[in-house]
Structures are given as structure tokens and as C-alpha cells.
Amino acid sequence: MSGAIPDPAGCGVDTAIVPAGLAHAALLAALHEAAFPPTEAWSEAAMATLLASPGSLGFLALRPGAQAGAPDPAGFVLARVAADEAEILTIAVLPGARRKGHGRALLAAAAQGARAAGARRLFLEVATDNPAAAALYRQAGLVEVGRRRGYYDRSGAAPVDALILASDLGQGGLRADEPD
């Protein structure tokens, strides 16, 4: 596959990426709640379980200048590595911080972390009614490899399909965010 995820170092945005661990479970739950509809909330306990599970990877995006003072998180990503495959479990950027490159930097950090942990291929699922996320993933080079019909419940509306997207994580294959 020719698709590749950009290298966070080459993203060209002023996003500080730091690892997230168990101590951040409450923060990640709060960020998730702020970024997703209320029906999709993940509890602090659920975050802690994911962060404590084998192969889990978490990263926080901090807004520019945050390192010097109090941390000012803009979003986070959670992934899981099993053998040579990685999966993005969730990624979220606060509504007021979107379209500044944080999502791209988080995705790239997860890809780089997964590769460092031995993964050679990255997967994720995205709802067909989520054009922002789909655009982020496609811009990063992920391509559709499958579809789960009716995977996401939409209360009061018809269920929505999940697209399964994937990208290779070959050594040296991460593309910096260079102009076409």
C-alpha cells in the first residue's frame, strides 16, 4: 500500500505531544466527553482500563506554549498494539481547538508509537457520517479496506456503517507533512 501517515516532527504545527498514562484517565474522559456526543461518552474507569491494558498507547496534544505553564490539553489519541498490528481506539480534539493540526499530530504520534512498539500496519474505524475524521485519515494516507454495515447506533435514526481504514507503517515510510 502506498498510503503513509505523516511524521509528527514534520507536521508543521506547533503542537506539543506528550505521552498519556493511567494518571490521565480523568482528563482523557473529560476531553472525550467534550469532543463527542453525550451518548458516546467514555468514563474515567473505561479510560483507565484501556490505558492499563497491554499494548495500549496514549498521547495528549498540548496547545502552543502550554509546556511553560499549566498544561492546556487540546486533545488525545488512544491506540493499541497487538503483535504487528495497531488500532486507533479513539482520537479527539476539543471543538474550539480544531483545524489547527492537533488531530494530524496526534494521529502521527500514535502511528510513530505503534511502529516503535513493533506494529507494521495501522487500522481504525470511522463512521460514514463523520466527514471531518474521514478527511483527517484520508489526508494522512489511510485507505478503505472494509465496511461494517450498521455498526454505529444513532438513536432515533438509522444505524450508520463503519469504514475500516488501514495504512502500512513501514520503516521510513512515514511521510512528513510536505507540500504535494
Ligand X SMILES: CC(C)(COP(=O)(O)OP(=O)(O)OC[C@H]1O[C@@H](n2cnc3c(N)ncnc32)[C@H](O)[C@@H]1OP(=O)(O)O)[C@@H](O)C(=O)NCCC(=O)NCCS
Q: How far apart are CA 101 and CA 11, in angstroms?
A: 8
Told to check if 22 binds ligand X by CB under 6 A, we report: no
Q: Which is nearer to ligand X, 9 or 118 (CB)?
A: 9
Told to check if 63 binds ligand X by CB under 6 A, we report: no
**Rg for the chain (alpha carbons), in Å?**
16
Q: Which is nearer to ligand X, 126 or 169 (CB)?
A: 126
SS3 assignment, position 109: helix
Cell of 21: 498514562
Q: How far apart are CA 56 and CA 174, in angstroms?
A: 21
Q: Which is nearer to ligand X, 149 or 171 (CB)?
A: 149
Q: Which of 22, 132, 145, 176 binds ligand X (CB under 6 A)?
A: 132
* Stretch touching ligand X by CB under 6 A, among 18-26, 96-104, 144-152, 166-174: 96-104
- Under DSSP, the state recorded for 177 is S
Told to check if 139 binds ligand X by CB under 6 A, we report: yes
Say if CB 78 and CB 50 are below 8 A apart. yes
Q: Which of 63, 80, 102, 115 binds ligand X (CB under 6 A)?
A: 102
Q: Which of 36, 43, 67, 170 binds ligand X (CB under 6 A)?
A: 36
Cell of 77: 489519541
What is each CA distance from 44 to 48, 59, 62, 64, 159, in whole angstroms?
6, 16, 20, 26, 27
Q: Which of 39, 70, 96, 99 binds ligand X (CB under 6 A)?
A: 99
Q: Which residues bind ligand X (CB under 6 A)?
A: 35-36, 91-93, 98-104, 126, 130-133, 135-136, 139
